[in-house]
Amino acid sequence: MVYRQISIPLKKLNKNNVKVMQSDFFSFFVYESKITDIEMSEPILYFSYTKSEQNEHFAINQAGLFITFVGFCKIFNHSQPCDYIQTKNHETALLELGDNIWMSITREYSKTPQYQFLHTILLCYKRIFQLFFPMPTRDPKTGDVFPESRDLMKHAFELITKSIYNPNMMMPILYDSILRIDLPSNIYSTELEKTVTALLHINTSPIEYLAVMYSDYFIFTNYPIDVSRTIYLCFRSQFEHFQFNSPTKDQNEFYYEIGLVKNKKGETEVHSPSIYIKGQKNHLVVLRHGCFRYAIALKASIEPEASLLDALPSFIRPIRVFITALQIEIKKNKPKCPYFQITSNKNYRSLGMTSQKIPTQLMPNIHNLIITATIFARSYSKSVYLALPIANRFFIWCKSDSVADSAVVIKSESKKISKLIEACKYFNDPVHVTRFNINSRNEILRLPFIPL
């Protein structure tokens, strides 16, 4: 394998950089894809965001330009809609939200086109909107979107863009996967699945879907994979629509991270966001116990009343007992140098991340390096290795093929490329970077199934 140093636009690492970096996106719009036949009519814009202040007609003109361009492309290709536009200074990805309502996201163009990344971001926005908000409805007489739906769309995308524009979210979006913790052997994962399945099939069970998580890592989920991933992104970004509750002082105490909130009077109220799965409207509640989360979607016919929420911790007791028997420890490595490592299995959509000795303030910059390098690698070839030195003695190694993406960033005093590549390969080996060491006591296999 031959490695070459390649010049690509990567930002210089600087520990004095601001903690929250500015978004790399120039604009984001949500608009009606059809212009009415009324003379001099303007495109209908439902939401707009621009990185810098623009004149009052900028968003309308941009939406009109995209609509015209897409309509023109349809003349030559009826089977596949136009979803990417590249100009000298900008590149734009487009995606239909549904019912002739489209989204567009634009960034300043660099030497490496980022079509796939931009399209993944739009797909992420679409999934969040369709999972937690009802699709817009129209007046059957005029065909116009009802004002209530327009207001809801604007509110929804204000929340979505505010959360997902965080640069720390870009890398999980890029890899289109979820963080997982694998149980130590198939027998334990089978027992957990049997326990959950038996619990959900009780006639009185109020639960339709359940995910068991350790922090942001999935241990078990029966949600569809795209739903699991969207929930993960919303947890990671602290999506404001959820109205998260603060942890209790007692780590052994159960509390509702999502589901119960205190109003201005200090009174507890039920707040369970709607979640739309396979055409049904469910309600989402999340129980928290220390580092463990239980993300529960109630059955479509069940309303999240206070009495039900009071009973849920007891109802999931068999799962709690199983999880309590899992001893999850963070494996402490002794790295030769500071490193950050990430691997995404494309077939299983499983994401793994680990790091040690990298200062927190440098993480946004590290993420930016990996995003840029991965996008470059994907654009360069379907199967490619990329290795190059960065500023401040940092070195990045990136691999991309049809099965997996992986990247390692290290900080080393060595100047020999061969030594740096060897160190990166060392940290890319799961044996050396697995953070979680899970031990299970055998008695969990003999637990009687007694739901309360």
Q: Given pLDDT bands bounded at 50, 70 and 90, which one contains residue 440?
A: low
Query: Is the domain of 147 the same as that of 186?
Result: no
Count the domains in the chain: 3
Q: Is residue 73 part of a domain?
A: yes
- What share of the chain has pLDDT > 90, as a percent? 39
Q: Which of 7-21, 156-170, 394-408 has the lowest mean pLDDT?
A: 7-21
| Residue 355: domain span | 339-437
Q: Is residue 111 part of a domain?
A: yes
pLDDT higher than threshold 80 for residue 380: no
Query: Is the domain of 206 the same as that of 156?
Result: no
- Residue 22 confidence (pLDDT): 42
Q: Is residue 20 part of a domain?
A: no
Q: How far apart are CA 258 and CA 241, in angstroms?
A: 10
Query: Is the domain of 62 the same as that of 156?
Result: yes
pLDDT higher than threshold 70 for residue 44: yes
Query: Is the domain of 322 the same as that of 182?
Result: yes
The answer to whether the CB of 32 falls within 8 A of the CB of 46 is yes
Of 326, 359, 383, the last residue of a domain is 326
What is the rounded average pLDDT for all residues in the chain?
Answer: 83
Longest dimension (CA), the chain: 75
Q: What is the pLDDT of residues 111-153, one digit of tens each?
A: 777 888 899 999 999 999 999 999 999 999 999 999 999 999 9
Q: Is residue 445 part of a domain?
A: no
Of 165, 196, 229, the last residue of a domain is 165
Q: How far apart are CA 191 and CA 444, in angstroms?
A: 9
Closest CA to 104 of 155, 29, 54, 177: 29
Of 326, 361, 396, the last residue of a domain is 326
Q: Is residue 442 part of a domain?
A: no
What the block records as the tokens of 134 is 């009802």
Where residue 267 sits, what CATH number does that domain have? 3.30.450
Query: Is the domain of 158 the same as that of 253?
Result: no
Query: Is the domain of 143 the same as that of 259?
Result: no
The answer to whether the CB of 349 falls within 8 A of the CB of 176 is yes
Query: Is the domain of 311 the same as that of 421?
Result: no
Query: Is the domain of 299 the same as that of 379?
Result: no
Q: Given pLDDT bands bounded at 50, 70 and 90, which one contains residue 1?
A: very low
Query: Is the domain of 30 the same as that of 160?
Result: yes
Q: Is residue 244 part of a domain?
A: yes
Q: Containing H/E element for 268?
A: strand 268-271
pLDDT higher than threshold 60 for residue 38: no
Query: Is the domain of 369 the same as that of 292?
Result: no
Q: Is residue 62 part of a domain?
A: yes
pLDDT higher than threshold 50 for residue 446: no
Q: What is the pLDDT of residues 333-376, one digit of tens each?
A: 777 789 999 999 988 888 888 888 888 888 888 888 888 888 88
Q: Is residue 246 part of a domain?
A: yes
- Residue 55 confidence (pLDDT): 83
What the block records as the tokens of 322 is 């199983």
Where residue 87 sits, what CATH number does that domain have? 3.30.450.30
Query: Is the domain of 193 the same as that of 314?
Result: yes
- DSSP calls for 94-121: EEEEETTEEEEEEEE--SS--HHHHHHH
Query: Is the domain of 354 the same as that of 257?
Result: no
- Residue 166 confidence (pLDDT): 66
